[in-house]
Amino acid sequence: MNDDQEKAKNYNPKKYRTPDGIPADIVMFTLTKQERRSSTKSLPLFELKVMLIRRRSWPFAGAYALPGGFSQENESLYETASRELQEETGVDGGHLEYLGVYSTPGRDPRGWIISHAFYALVEEWVLEKRKAADDAQAVGLFTIQEALEELELAFDHREIIKDAYRRIQEQMLQTTIAKQFLPPHFTLSELYQVIRTVVPDFEELNFIRKVTSTRSRQGILEEVVDENGKRLVSNQYSQRPAQLYRFTDFTPRLSIYT
């Protein structure tokens, strides 16, 4: 037995009251695409949705809650969230990010339970599959407005969803997470629509020109070309083919002063 182990044996961590559990809850966002009926090709309608599960048991039986689960001793909280995400959706990988801690006394009637919120960006089909596999009654995809204004939510999950929404809006403008909602190659209209869906009051009349022809932002996006250097285009959503782009791994440094 080494020195540390010996000392650890003498140290009694349960001298004080300790929490009753440390769950990780995940705000899973997805962007649903809905075909628009029209005579010709057109961009689909996007909607930002969040996955919620109807609780069956006490506390908050019948209310909707974020998917999540308790952390175990042998894993970090990120691993807990990652494991839960995998258990809930069958997918690992994808964008998973820490949001914050929720520890207001009394937030959970089961005891002293400190929850950690994460948010994930998941493809629509993943959540649809999950919904099909499970009791369809229990799993739902809701718009932010529905979740915040119409549903009865468990615990402090309304606060968590609000915070996650604020965060994803900020991230959508300040980082390149938009790529999580886009195929590897995409047109600028698709990108613009994705941004607009998450941040409705983002309006840029000259969006195409701005992201392509200004030097200061040069490097966020690049044109996709084939092996012969020919620029690749897509006409999936339009009559006239549009140039395809991809994100580079460059992210500019933002500042309020300059």
Partner DNA sequence: GTAATAGTGTCTGTTAGACACTATTCT
Partner DNA sequence: AGAATAGTGTCTAACAGACACTATTAC
Interface residue list for its own copies (CB under 8 A)? 4, 7-8, 11, 13-14, 16-22, 58-59, 70-78, 98, 100-101, 103-105, 109-114, 116, 173-176, 195, 202, 204, 207, 210-211, 217, 220, 251-258
Q: Does the protein bind DNA through residue 40 (CB under 7 A)?
A: yes
Q: Which does 19 bind (CB under 5 to 8 A by kind): its own copies, DNA, none?
A: its own copies
The nearest distance, CB 35 to DNA, in angstroms, is: 11
**Cα–Cα distance measured from residue 132 to residue 147, given in angstroms and rounded to the nearest whole number:** 21
Closer Cβ to its own copies, 36 or 166, answer by number: 166
| Burial bucket for residue 15 (CB in 10 Å: 0-12, 13-18, 19+) | exposed
Closer Cβ to DNA, 41 or 110, answer by number: 41
**Cα–Cα distance measured from residue 180 to residue 187, given in angstroms and rounded to the nearest whole number:** 14
DSSP 231: B
Which residues contact residue 170 at a Cβ distance below 8 angstroms, ignoring those fewer than 6 apart?
Answer: none
Secondary structure class of 46 (helix, strand, coil): strand
Contacting DNA (CB under 7 A), which of 72, 209, 225, 252? 209
Closer Cβ to DNA, 25 or 190, answer by number: 190
Q: Does the protein bind DNA through residue 221 (CB under 7 A)?
A: no
Q: Which does 60 bind (CB under 5 to 8 A by kind): DNA, its own copies, none?
A: none
Q: Which does 211 bind (CB under 5 to 8 A by kind): its own copies, DNA, none?
A: its own copies
Going from the C-alpha of 216 to that of each of 77, 192, 212, 220, 221, the distances in angstroms are 38, 19, 10, 10, 12
DSSP 63: S
Q: Which of 136, 110, 125 is nearest to 22 (CA)?
A: 110
Q: Which does 248 bind (CB under 5 to 8 A by kind): DNA, its own copies, none?
A: none
Q: Which of 222, 239, 220 is nearest to 231 (CA)?
A: 222
Q: Does the protein bind DNA through residue 39 (CB under 7 A)?
A: yes
Q: Which of 172, 173, 183 is nearest to 246 (CA)?
A: 183
Closer Cβ to DNA, 35 or 73, answer by number: 35
Contacting DNA (CB under 7 A), which of 7, 34, 239, 249? 239
How many residues contact DNA, by CB under 7 A? 32
The nearest distance, CB 232 to DNA, in angstroms, is: 10
